[in-house]
Structure formats: C-alpha cells, structure tokens
A and B are shown apart, each in its own frame.
Chain A
Amino acid sequence: MYYLRLVFKNIFRHKLRSFLTLVGLVVAILAFGLLQTVVNAWYAGSDMASAQRLIARNAVSLVFPLPKYYRDRIKAIDGVTAVAASNWFGGIYKDMTPANFFAQFGVDHENFFDLYPEFRTNPEELLAFKKDRRGVMVGRLLADQHGFKVGDVIPVKGTIYPGNWEFVVRGVYEPADDTTITRQLYFHWDYLNEEMRARTPRRAEQVGVFVVQIADGSRAAEISQAIDREFRNSLAETLTETEKAFQLSFIAQTETIIMAIRIVSFVVILIIFAVVANTMAMTARERLAEYATLKALGFGPAFVAALILGESS
C-alpha cells in the first residue's frame, strides 16, 4: 500500500515529464499498431486463400490470357474436382478516386461460388444472379460502402474492355469470417465473352485465370505440375500454383515497401524501449540519494528496484 502510494507520488513528481513520456509512448504504440495493421491488410488476400484451390495462369505473364477450352482439359486432370474461369475486368466506377475503386471479375457464374464457400450467399439471390446475364454479386463491405442493394444498376466504364457496362445487383454475399474479403464484384464471364465476340472477336473465348478446385490439398504440387505438363509446348503454357502463392506473388511485387514498413514498425518499438529506458535512467540518476537513503534506513534492494520499475511502468 505504502509502496503504491510512493510510486504514485513519484510518477506525478514531474507532471510535464510524465505527460510527455506518456504521449510519446501512446503515439509510438499507435504508430506500431497502425503499421502492423497496414502489413496485415497487405496479406489479407492471402489469408483467405484456400489450400484446396489452385490458380492456373499464362506462364508468360498474368497479362496474357488462356484459351477458354483449357477449362475442360484441366477438369479432366486427376485430382481436379472443379474449374471456374475468372477474369480481371478493371472497370471504373464513377471516377478514378481510390474511394470508388473496387475489383470486378468476370467469373463462371454456374460454379464460381461453389468454389468459394467462404462467400456466404443467399440461394435465391444466387439463383437470380445465375439467371441474369447482367447480374452481379457484390460483397457485403462493397455493398455497405456504396449503398448497393438488390436491383440497383451499377454503371462501369471499361478500360481493358472498353465501353460502358451496366451490371444489375442480384445478390450480396456475406463473409464467413474476418479473413474473407467482401469488397469485390462478380459478374458473368459469359456476358463479357459475348460482348467481346461482338465488339472485338479476337479477344473472345479467352480467360484471365482458372480457379482449380482439388480434392486433396496435399496433392497441390503434383496436380499443379500435371496441369502445366498438360499445356507444355502449347501456344499458351500455364503456370499453376496454390491460391496463396498466387496472392503472395502480388505482394512480392511490393515486398520492399512491406519490408520498409516492417522495419519502421520495429524501429518504433525500439524507440518505445529507448524512451522507457531513458526515463528510467533519468529518474534513477536524479534520485540516487533517495534510493541510498531508503537503503540506509533498511529498505532492501528489492524494494528500491520495485520502486524504479513501478514508476517506469
């Protein structure tokens, strides 16, 4: 009791110093938390990756598509249970401000959501989506951010696929857990393909990537190799990898930034330690005579050490 009283009185002995130390620590801890959140957010996409999903893409670059007919050949490979096309659309909603940016994918509407059980859909809404060629499913976060609701029309200006596109919201999918990202829009790849067929036929029948579902996650490497072998020496060789590796390959492009953020966040921690150590040292140095007096009076070294630690923490 007396010890606590002494600690408390000493803490407020130099009010300005205590206040500034506290502010310094709070800012440093907040900065660390913020930086760690940025790093975690960076990896969020890979966190929701499933071990039972592979991504097959063009071996030359993600920029180059794969022929649509690969889908059936991939599906025939041993261990593969389902395949769905997925195509980055890259359209602009309203304007190019970051607040209005969200990912749009043209996907195989019949089975795409079967491959992503972490996207919780309403069966009626999913059915309505499947029936409407212009129908889209939007994630909960995206719907909340822009106020999208079933029946709304979302106008999007195409960039990779030029023209004005209009999508109709047919459903909102919910996240299964915190790692599930719900800030995307999924529409029919068939709709995209039909439009391409009509506008620029040479770009039709082509898919960005194939999402491959496998029965056994432990066979991912073997099946990936089998898929790539299937298309070796073809016009569009594939590079197949796990969904996590695929997501991390995007992060790898910005790895230096991530590394810098990580280093900065740890420097912040070092600063916290330095501030605490400096305050402890300054306090102890200033009060050596007091500690000596306490020891002379019979207070043991443990009491004095506890006093210093108590005032510092």
Chain B
Amino acid sequence: MSAAPAPARPIVEITRLAKGYRRGDQDVPVLFDISLVIPEGDFIALMGPSGSGKSTLLNLIAGIDKPDAGELLVDGEDITQLSEAQLADWRAAHVGFIFQFYNLMPVLDAFENVELPLLLTSLSRRERRERVETALSLVGLADRMEHYPNELSGGQQQRVAIARAFISDPTIIVADEPTGDLDRKSAGEILGLLRRFNEEMGKTIIMVTHDWHAVESARHVVHLEKGELVDAPAPHA
C-alpha cells in the first residue's frame, strides 16, 4: 500500500511481509501481510500502540532482522536474500540509525562517535576528519567535538547521533523514538534537524514515534495496529 502519491522513485518496497517470534514453544506473530512503498526523499512516521510491530517493521527495513515471509526491497535490492555478513556491509553503506537513547560509545568523544561509520569505508583520515567536522557543524556541535557523551546534554547527544546517522550518506535513515528521551525543547530541535535533512538534502527518513509533535514533522504517517497496516492520515507536508 502506498501512503500517498509517490513524489519520487520508490526507495523501500515491502510486499506481503510477515514476521513472528518464538516464545518458548509458542509462535507469536508480530507482523501480518504488510505491503508498503516508501518513495525516495519521504519522511515517514510509523505510529501505533505498543506491541503493534512498529519497531519490528523498522528493524526489518534496516536489515537488523529478517522477515519470515514476503519481499523487502531497499533501493531495488532484496535484502531478505542477504546473509548476516552481507547485511552488516549493507547496513554500513545504506542505513543511518538514530536510537531513542542515542547509543553513543561512552569512551569515544563526539568526533570519534560520528567518525565510527566512516571507519568501515575506504576514506582517508583527512577525508574522514573533514566530513566529521562538517557533520558536527551542521548539527550545531562544532565546538563540542572533543566532548564525551557524559559531558553533553540529552539533546546534544541525540544531535551527535544524528550526525553519525547522516555521516556516511546512507540511502535511508531509521529513527526509533528519536525524541522519546528528550524534553519538549530538545525534541523540537531534533525534529527540526531531521526535517532540515529531509527537505534540504532529500534524505529518506523512517521514524517510529509515539509523539504527536514528531508526527507533525513527518510528510506521511503510517499506522500499525496489531501487526497490520491501517489507513494512514493525510500527509502534513
């Protein structure tokens, strides 16, 4: 199902996707027959009550988990066919992650945290430095490069995480409750940054959220309930 008329070529194509988990000797189905197309440059908010399968769907799109059935194409590549090692390489090249609790490495400073994904590329040290400095400037932390996570506020840490997510110029950005641990002001700044990256750089963002303010930043909203897609509201943008 397409949430809205596609403004560009499809970047994520999901067809009849299903996923369940095994708990003890019981199969617990989480997602049923999900079909969805996300166009390039879109900013999708995935909403739904707890246990509706939002994070599971996000993990599948990001190549962290594998579906039980169905097809999942990202930028034309069926990632369900990739091995664990291939998926790791694929994630490094195509996915930027933003987590609710930032997930920065506490022993690395802001510069080193942002540099992490670039270590998996063939960029030289000088090129990496230039990119990291640019990314941190874009998120407004040029003066905090040598600060460690415990020396930064929650909002600043999330901005470092955003810089880390965008640094390797990924195909898609997945954000799992990026404002869930932030106060209203910091959350607004983070959403502003995401919107800016989406609008000015054309980055495709898929965001799981419970926050209606966050939903307002998205172009489209997709609702999940009990593992199934329900009608999405009209886009804001």
B103 touches A293 (CB 8 A): yes
A13 touches B91 (CB 8 A): no
A296 touches B89 (CB 8 A): no
Q: Name the B residues within 8 Å of A301 (CB-CB).
A: 84, 88
A219 on interface, CB distance cutoff 8 Å:
no
**Chain A: which residue is nearest B59 at the CB level?**
A296
B62 on interface, CB distance cutoff 8 Å:
yes
In the complex, identify which listed stretch (B25-33, B114-122, B196-204) lies at the interface while the others stay far away. B114-122
Q: Name the B residues within 8 Å of A290 (CB-CB).
A: 103, 105-106
Q: Name the B residues within 8 Å of A9 (CB-CB).
A: 107-108
In the complex, identify which listed stretch (B69-77, B92-100, B133-141, B226-234) lies at the interface while the others stay far away. B92-100
- Complex Cα–Cα for A293 and B120 (A): 14
Q: Name the A residues within 8 Å of B164 (CB-CB).
A: 297
A302 to B: closest C-beta gap in Å: 9
Q: Name the A residues within 8 Å of B117 (CB-CB).
A: 297-298
* One of B92, B99, B105, B106 near A298 (C-beta < 8 A): B92
B59 to A: closest C-beta gap in Å: 9
Q: Name the A residues within 8 Å of B101 (CB-CB).
A: 289
* One of A2, A292, A294, A298 near B89 (C-beta < 8 A): A298
- Complex Cα–Cα for A10 and B97 (A): 23
A298 touches B103 (CB 8 A): no
A293 touches B107 (CB 8 A): no
A13 touches B106 (CB 8 A): yes
Number of interface residues of A (CB under 8 A): 17
A292 to B: closest C-beta gap in Å: 8
B107 touches A10 (CB 8 A): yes
B160 to A: closest C-beta gap in Å: 13
Could you give, for residues 282-313 of chain A, a 1 whenever the CB lies within 8 Å of some chain B CB and a 0 otherwise?
00000001101111111111000000000000
Q: Name the B residues within 8 Å of A296 (CB-CB).
A: 62, 64, 91, 95, 97
B105 touches A293 (CB 8 A): yes
Q: Name the B residues within 8 Å of A293 (CB-CB).
A: 97, 99, 103, 105
**Chain A: which residue is nearest B102 at the CB level?**
A293
Q: Name the B residues within 8 Å of A292 (CB-CB).
A: 103
Give the A-binding residues of B (Cβ under 8 A): 62, 64, 84-85, 88-93, 95, 97, 99, 101, 103, 105-108, 116-117, 119-120, 164
Query: Apart from A6-B108, A300-B88, what are 12 other A-B pairs with CB-CB below 8 Å?
Result: A9-B107, A10-B107, A289-B101, A292-B103, A293-B103, A293-B105, A296-B62, A296-B95, A297-B91, A297-B92, A298-B91, A299-B92
